[in-house]
């Protein structure tokens, strides 16, 4: 079954973040979908492809844990700086020699968050 192809500007959400973010895709693969750079599984670099999600609420994040301890145990969110893995699952279609990224893919943050794509960025292109 085909799924929408993910492009630059796709909407992302982290389970421990407080705000959505937009995927940034550098045009290195030179593949455009609906006029926007197409994403592949390697489009998961922190602060390059995946910006922060506002504030982080994960106690696995050392800055959140330290701020929470300083606040006598009251959860104290701190600025989000994701530490991510490559996206999974992916498509059999290749973009720039790597599997294409499709709606429904997710990646993990080292601080425990699950990052999901909530809007692919493309509306008619399926992979």
Please report which helix (H) or strand (E) contains residue 110, including its range: none
Is 10 within a domain?
Answer: yes
Q: How do residues 54-111 score in pLDDT, each as one tens digit?
A: 999 999 999 999 999 999 999 999 999 999 999 997 678 888 889 999 998 999 999 9
What's the domain count of the chain?
1
Q: How do residues 3-56 score in pLDDT, each as one tens digit?
A: 889 999 999 999 999 999 999 998 887 888 889 999 999 999 999 999 999 999
What's the pTM?
A: 0.90
Q: In terms of C-beta density within 10 A (0-12 exposed, 13-18 middle, 19 or more buried), how is residue 1 classed?
A: exposed
Question: pLDDT > 70: what percent of the chain?
Answer: 96
Is 112 within a domain?
Answer: yes
Is 127 within a domain?
Answer: no
Is 77 within a domain?
Answer: yes
Structural domain of residue 86, as residue ranges? 4-122
Which two tokens mark 50? 């995946």
Is 92 within a domain?
Answer: yes
**Cβ proximity of 110 and 46 under 8 Å:** no
Which two tokens mark 98? 């790597």
């Amino acid at each position: 079954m085909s799924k929408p192809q993910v492009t630059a500007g796709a909407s992302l959400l982290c389970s421990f973040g407080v705000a959505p973010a937009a995927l940034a895709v550098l045009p290195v693969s030179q593949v455009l979908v609906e006029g926007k750079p197409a994403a592949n599984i390697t489009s998961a670099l922190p602060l390059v492809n995946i910006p922060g999600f506002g504030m982080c609420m994960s106690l696995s994040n050392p800055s959140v844990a330290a701020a929470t301890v300083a606040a006598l145990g009251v959860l104290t969110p701190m600025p989000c700086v994701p530490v991510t893995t490559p996206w999974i699952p992916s498509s059999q279609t290749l973009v720039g020699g790597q599997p294409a990224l499709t709606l429904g893919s997710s990646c993990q943050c080292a601080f425990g968050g699950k990052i999901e794509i909530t809007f692919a960025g493309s509306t008619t292109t399926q992979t």
